[in-house]
Amino acid sequence: MMDTSEFEIQTPVIAGNWKMHMTPSEARAFGEAFAARYAPHDNRTVILFPPAISFAATAEALSERSDLRLGIQNIHWEDSGAFTGETSAAMARDAGARFVLIGHSERRHVFNESDADVGRKVDTALEHRLVPVACVGETLEEREAGRLEEVLLRQIDAIIQDLPGEHIERLVIAYEPVWAIGTGVNATPEDASSAHAVLRARLAERTDDSAARRIPILYGGSVNPENAPKLLAADYVDGVLVGGASLDPESFAAIATS
């Protein structure tokens, strides 16, 4: 449980990342269908990350559902300016976002975002009272070369290095092995647990054990209604970040209630 001064993050956290899917009309239809299939639960946090252009339609469709949270998929680190195509944290917050995905593997690998960019965006999100869902994860090549721990520590350090302890406690971390994203090959619950333990230990070094335990660490990569219960039951796994399976209201509702 994490107090963000406005609302508490109850774990498990079930987050849906729609990526570049869902037009505004589709988002509206999804909102209605999902609300009909998922009843409010007070023992978890369900978050949707629509594309920026479909954000308002999603918010409108879910306006009666104060239990559901919305997030934006990316922000720029500047507050405003000549940055064509970008969204600022203040804009996202004003539109109703409370969370922001930062450093998703597609941002890192397709759009060449560096660890430093990710760190700057995390700082900006926190300044604007958006909860960063900061993503880390190794490629298959890095895992096979025995570099899993080194990569995770480098990425998490870039996220937390400039943050005071009380800001670190406001993060959500998502471990998403790149080889598991969109491939249908999910990490085993044991793989997720051991990666999460590495991250949790690093967070504890910078805060303390009990603060580090309260920072939700989500697993992402080919989560579906069948594997979600086992992943959610794994040690140190406090939630899931779901891509493909979050596009179908029925399967996302099944994951959200698992």
Considering only 242, 253, 255, 256, the residue that binds ligand PGA (CB under 6 A) is 242
Q: Is 220 in the site for ligand PGA (CB under 6 A)?
A: yes
Q: Is 188 in the site for ligand PGA (CB under 6 A)?
A: no
- Alpha carbon separation from 239 to 36, 47, 258 (Å, rounded): 22, 11, 11
Is 169 an active-site residue?
no
Considering only 241, 253, 254, 255, the residue that binds ligand PGA (CB under 6 A) is 241
- Which of 113, 138, 176, 196 is catalytic? The answer is 176
- Which of 76, 104, 128, 196 is catalytic? The answer is 104
Residue 223 C-beta: closest distance to ligand PGA, Å: 5
Give the closest residue to 100 by CA, choosing from 184, 172, 34.
172
Measured distance CA(152)–CA(157) in Å, rounded? 8
Is 8 an active-site residue?
no
Q: Is 181 in the site for ligand PGA (CB under 6 A)?
A: yes
Q: Is 176 in the site for ligand PGA (CB under 6 A)?
A: yes
Cβ of 158: how many Cβ atoms within 10 Å? Answer: 20
Residue 164 C-beta: closest distance to ligand PGA, Å: 28
Residue with smaller CB distance to ligand PGA, 31 or 244: 244
Q: Is 228 in the site for ligand PGA (CB under 6 A)?
A: no
Residues interacting with ligand PGA, by CB under 6 A?
17, 176, 181-182, 220-223, 241-245
